[in-house]
Amino acid sequence: MIDLIIDYIKINRVSTTEVADALGKKGALVDTYSLNRGHFKVGRCQYTYIYKESNWTLHEQIQQVEKNSIVLVDDLGSNGRAIFGDIVAKYVLLYSQAAAIVTNGKIRDAHSLIKEKYPIWSSGVNPVGCFNTKPIGEIDQELLKERKDYFNNSIIVADDTGVVIIQKDNINEKLLNKLKNIEVQEDTWFDCIDRLKWNTFDTICLQKYTNNDKKNI
């Protein structure tokens, strides 16, 4: 089912807006933005994380990157430092052939990342990076388990509007049907606005096109 949903979203370019609607207006990775405009990516999530202002664990985890996956770098303690820059991006996207990188933390080397037009989503930029040394102390295992449970076996959809996570519990036929219905609904709304010249209140709020008197639809 995960491949069916990924293929449907990819082929039909179902936007993050539509996916979030299908999820009941949920699923956004908050305050995460596209660095380079015009990218549309969907794929399996490959979860990675950093903590205690170190990206040591990120370098460990990206030794094996699944082709066409979307690498999610979870910020569990950067203290605002940039998590990665152009070297990691090039390794993950060019040599490991990941589809995109998404992080809820900051990144650096923006001039290079923009020049290369890499598909990257982040919470912003900062020239001051994380340390490349092994973090002292263990991560909160309960927190890590909670985060892994949230992201593992999920689908990530990313475009100019942001990032949406489809959790494993929502990857089913019901969601696939909702995505298809959302597409039909969007087509109907635009038809009402563009062709019938209805206002948005009648179209979206009252949904008058569902009335029996819809011979013109």
Per-residue pLDDT of the chain (217 residues; tens, 9 = 90+): 999 999 999 999 999 999 999 999 999 999 999 999 999 999 999 999 999 999 999 999 999 999 999 999 999 999 999 999 999 999 999 999 999 999 999 999 999 999 999 999 999 999 999 999 999 999 999 999 999 999 999 999 999 999 999 999 999 999 999 999 998 999 999 999 999 999 999 999 999 988 854 444 4
Q: What is the pLDDT of residue 215?
A: 46
Q: How far apart are CA 74 and CA 112, in angstroms?
A: 22
* Contact predicate 1/44, CB 8 Å: no
Among positive and negative, which fits the CA dihedral 119, 5, 14, 105?
Answer: negative
Q: What is the pLDDT of residue 216?
A: 47
Q: What is the pLDDT of residue 217?
A: 45
| Residue 94 vs residues 28, 48, 50, 65: alpha-carbon distances, Å | 27, 18, 22, 11
Helix%, strand%, coil% for the chain, nearest 5: 40, 20, 40
Q: What is the pLDDT of residue 211?
A: 80
Q: Check: CATH 3.50.30.40 for 2-167?
A: yes
* Contact predicate 102/70, CB 8 Å: yes
pTM of the model: 0.93
